[in-house]
Structure 1
Amino acid sequence: MTLRSALYSGRVVHERMRPKRHRLSYRVFMLLLDLDEIDTLDRSLKRFSRGRLNLIGFHDRDHLDDPRGSLKDVVLAKLRAEGLDAARISVLAMPRILGKGFNPLSVFFCHDADGRLVATIHAVRNTFGQRHDYVLPATRTVGGWVEQNARKAFYVSPFLPMHLRYGFEIAPPGEAVHIGVDVLGEEGLVLAATFSGERRDLTDLAIWKALAGHPWQVAGILAAIHWEALKLVAKGFRIFPQDRATRGLRRPASPLASTPPGPSARAGSSAASWPGRAP
């Protein structure tokens, strides 16, 4: 049986343009998991598990407000709240490694019954244990890329203010995948972040090779995030504190009440800055 799920090995790159230049680049790997195939993968792979400790794993509760819910049903409900619908859903995310993990950004690809990509959900998480979603329609441009925009609506990095906009550029998963996010301010591009990866069949051997070839990911994404934060502090980057009203909340109330409703207005970003547009 041919599975749609896969492993993508590649690199995350961040380019900060202002107020000072800063660049980071790390090799990482991500899993593309069709939500209807995860249990099959759990049964067929020795080194991958769903919701259990293993070399790598996927935990539904990392993406759910209520851990008792069905992940697919929750995603479908979020789509329908925006007037969208889908038949097949896959998620591109970093796996847990030996039970530990942190996903700054997971992207849900939502297809209709004919296989057309109709929407994406950019599920973003910050280092304060909070998360939020950008639920956006997916309109392909010439060349098959998807371009989307949203106003920043959630506290992410302490080195970025809230009054920013996001521009997403996506080459949907195939033999390769590209996820890009431009962070834009009044003066133009503030940060460009990207993940670009090449497809591998999701096998036990591929999992071993991925672990051996991505040492920072094995050590921990949170460790890398805090290491880069120390560099930014040393360079004198300004810190923007989180609004007191949202501190300690798992999923802060949406600050979009004054924004006209619509798919492009819904957003959420909850992770240290991540994938962005190709520089």
Structure 2
Amino acid sequence: MNAAQIYPCQVMHQRLFPVQYRFRYRIVSALFDIDRLDALARDRRWFSLNRFNLFSLYTRDHGRRDGSPWRPWIEARLAEHGVQLDGGRIRLLAMPRILGYAFNPLSVWYCEHRDGRPRAVLLEVRNTFGEHHHYLLHEDGAPIRWPVRATKPKRFHVSPFIDMTPFYTFRLGEPGESLRIAIQEYQDNELMLIATQSGQAREFSDRNLLRTFAAMPWATAKIMVLIHWQALKIWLRGGRYHRKPKPPAQEVS
């Protein structure tokens, strides 16, 4: 099994009401086996762990966000909800830093039991206010099936033009040769927003890292620019502004 894969992706957002818009943009994500990061970094010239490079990954960007190892953190969060992996594989889908910068609106932890069957998917959501929250998709410790489907009430403020009353539906395919993530947001049981991410896997090689950089040199930096640009357009079209509430007390819902 691969220690990592690159996914050049298309992200699509479509809002149906009260302000309508639709946009697409390209990003680069990577799927990392969290137990093989040190070896991956040693074997790649253009990728580093916890230090600057063309592409890099920092442990302080996820988990406890203090630079500590990820596995104890995520296993503890899963155990709080009755999910045990017994040392099974955990993979993180995230945008790596490019030239030291990345902003991940959505990162995904794919969690398997030692027997190889998936047990949980943890969706890590970040907003532009420096806050984050996690939505856990699971079956109380029982194996889950691909594609993973779930419905969750909204617990975390993301867009200032959407209040806290909606709920989400999630559909995630098994990450392999292709990647498929779909999130729908409903308000008053009416579909309001659709967000998708899709891509095809490439080998996590130095050659492909250079090719990816040549094709999307500012892929991570442009995310923040696009978020604020779209927010401005929504505001100019009459979008209603909602003040940011306090983040949820619980780290996982």
Q: State the TM-score bracket (shorter-chain normalisation).
A: over 0.9
Report the residue type matching 1:163 in the other structure. T
**Could you state the TM-score of these two structures normalised by the residue count of structure 2?**
0.92
**1:172: how far off?**
1.5
2:237 and 2:216 map into 1 onto residues whose CA distance is 27
Assess, with a 3 A threshold, how the Cα gap between structure 1 residues 226 and 149 changes in structure 2: closer, same or farther.
same
**Could you state the TM-score of these two structures normalised by the residue count of structure 1?**
0.84
Assess, with a 3 A threshold, how the Cα gap between structure 1 residues 68 and 61 changes in structure 2: closer, same or farther.
closer
Match of 1:260 in 2: none
Match of 1:211 in 2: 213
- Asked if residue 231 in structure 1 is aligned to residue 230 in structure 2, the reply is no
Equivalent of residue 249 in structure 2, options 244, 253, 278: 253
Assess, with a 3 A threshold, how the Cα gap between structure 1 residues 66 and 101 changes in structure 2: closer, same or farther.
closer
Q: Is the 8 A contact 1:6 1:201 kept in 2?
A: yes
The count of residues paired between Structure 1 and Structure 2 equals: 248
**1:219: how far off?**
4.0
1:58 and 1:99 map into 2 onto residues whose CA distance is 9
- CA offset digits 1:128-187 (Å, max 9, x no partner): 00011112216655xx31101111111111111101111000112011011111111114
2:4 and 2:43 map into 1 onto residues whose CA distance is 13
After TM superposition, what 4+ stretches of structure 1 lie above 4 angstroms from structure 2?
A: 138-141
**1:17: how far off?**
0.8
Match of 1:99 in 2: 100
2:80 and 2:167 map into 1 onto residues whose CA distance is 22
Equivalent of residue 161 in structure 2, options 137, 146, 159: 159
Percent identity, aligned pairs only?
37
Report the residue type matching 1:44 in the other structure. D
**1:114: how far off?**
1.7
**What SS class does the counterpart of residue 31 from structure 2 fall into?**
strand
**What SS class does the counterpart of residue 78 from structure 1 fall into?**
helix
1:151 and 1:242 map into 2 onto residues whose CA distance is 17
Structure with the greater relative contact order (CA < 8 A, sep ≥ 6): 1 or 2? 1
1:208 and 1:70 map into 2 onto residues whose CA distance is 28
1:184 and 1:28 map into 2 onto residues whose CA distance is 25
Report the residue type matching 1:189 in the other structure. L
Match of 2:43 in 1: 44
- Asked if residue 83 in structure 1 is aligned to residue 82 in structure 2, the reply is yes
**What SS class does the counterpart of residue 201 from structure 2 fall into?**
strand
**What SS class does the counterpart of residue 14 from structure 1 fall into?**
strand
